[in-house]
Amino acid sequence: MAKANPDDASGMPLQAQAQASTRHIERASVGSPGDHLDMMGENSLQWLLKAVAPLQAIRVAVVHPCDETSLSAVLDARQAGLIDPVLIAPRHRLQAVAAEHSLDLSGIRIEDVPHSHAAAARAVELAGKGEVEALMKGSLHTDELMAAVVCHGSPLRTSRRVSHCFLLQTSHYPRPFIVTDAAINLAPGLIQKADIVQNAIDLAQVIGVAEPKVAILAAVETVNPAMPATLDAAALCKMADRGQITGGVLDGPLAFDNAISLAAAHTKGIVSPVAGQADVLVVPDLESGNMLAKQLIYLGDASSAGIVLGAKVPIVLTSRADTRASRIASCAIALMLAHHYRVTPP
């Protein structure tokens, strides 16, 4: 069995005790918004709202929020002081939804466009001009919005591939953690996975984890040529060794149990700076990631938030099944990232 070099664990800012359920995690101070946050011991992401409380709301282009769920989410986030929304949609549809559900749109800027495709294009245009600092998905399909973001000539493209991060927290695990990518990249190859990992590391640092521990997931802990996920995991770790991925501590392949349970890792004789204490779980493909995230949410009672990174502005992807708390938490992450991008553009 391949084992990680135990020397890699020296000098790490996050120290683990023998039992994962009782260990104390030291988080690096990153100034506002990440100072001294109590992010443990519950399954709530309420600490995010405490983190962003000192920050001024950002202007957000909300793309085609033409149903009660998405329009209500906008008003909730506005009421929470997180966003100053610009609604981009057919005006008559917005007004009809607002009237039907007694939603007050007074004081909110509306960009009247004929349909959802035009809404996505206009949102990207506004972001490219710096008139908004984030995008938020309304009732259109994710593919429609993301096609406008990443199309050739889009002002929001960067050298990095876009990817989605779920930030999850459950009382069954002693820290918030990220699952990626479970929403954008269907079957990423090695180079795409390198960007996915780097995006997740960047997010972890913004929320206050100075050197996140990244577990590259597979079904087994050993490299097997018949299992491409294990080969990618090994290559990603070597890329980190060579400085092609920076800011985190990587190990893999790791099965899910070994990534999140010190006891499971010890039982299998795995010596690793990441096993049992992962901050980031990198899945092999979208299908496995989507199933994992939803199992954690629906069976593991995890609170969730989601954000897309890799573009010049953060993008909030909401689902019709998302709770109000999840939508608010996602906007809080967008607020954190937008303020971070003012200093360090992506």
CATH number, span 22-55+161-310: 3.40.718.10
Burial class (CB in 10 A: 0-12, 13-18, 19+), 63: buried
pLDDT for residue 322: 87
Length of the chain as a residue count: 346
275 phi-psi bin (left φ>0, alpha ψ -120 to 50, beta other) = beta
- Taking the CA of residue 47 as centre, how many other CA atoms within 13 Å lie in the half-sphere pointing to its CB? 21
Q: What is the pLDDT along the chain (346 residues), one digit of tens a residue?
A: 334 333 333 333 333 333 333 333 333 333 333 333 444 445 578 899 999 999 999 999 999 999 999 999 999 999 999 999 999 999 999 999 999 999 999 999 999 999 999 999 999 999 999 999 999 999 999 999 999 999 999 999 999 999 999 999 999 999 999 999 999 999 999 999 999 999 999 999 999 999 999 999 999 999 999 999 999 999 999 999 999 999 999 999 999 999 999 999 999 999 999 999 999 999 999 999 999 999 999 999 999 999 999 999 999 998 878 888 999 999 999 999 999 999 999 9
Assigned token pair, 222: 């050993």
- Fold exhibited by the domain 56-157+311-338: Rossmann fold (3.40.50)
Kindly report the number of other CB atoms within 10 A of residue 191's CB atom.
Answer: 12
Q: What's the pTM value of the predicted model, to 2 decimals?
A: 0.87
Instruction: Provide the residue type at 345 as one letter.
Output: P
Domain boundaries, the chain: 22-55+161-310, 56-157+311-338
Question: Using the 8-state DSSP alphabet, how is residue 208 labeled?
Answer: T
Sheet with strand 58-63: strands edge to edge:
109-112, 83-89, 58-63, 134-137, 315-316, 303-309, 163-169, 177-180, 280-282, 213-217, 249-254
pLDDT for residue 10: 34
Alpha-carbon gap, residue 135 to 51, rounded angstroms: 21
Assigned token pair, 343: 């200093």
Q: Greatest CA separation found in the chain?
A: 63
C-alpha 71, offset from chain centre:
22
Alpha-carbon gap, residue 99 to 91, rounded angstroms: 12
Alpha-carbon gap, residue 216 to 222, rounded angstroms: 12
pLDDT for residue 43: 55
Cα(first)–Cα(last) distance of the chain, in Å? 38
Is the peptide bond prior to 6 cis by the omega test (within 30 degrees of 0)? no
Alpha-carbon gap, residue 212 to 218, rounded angstroms: 19
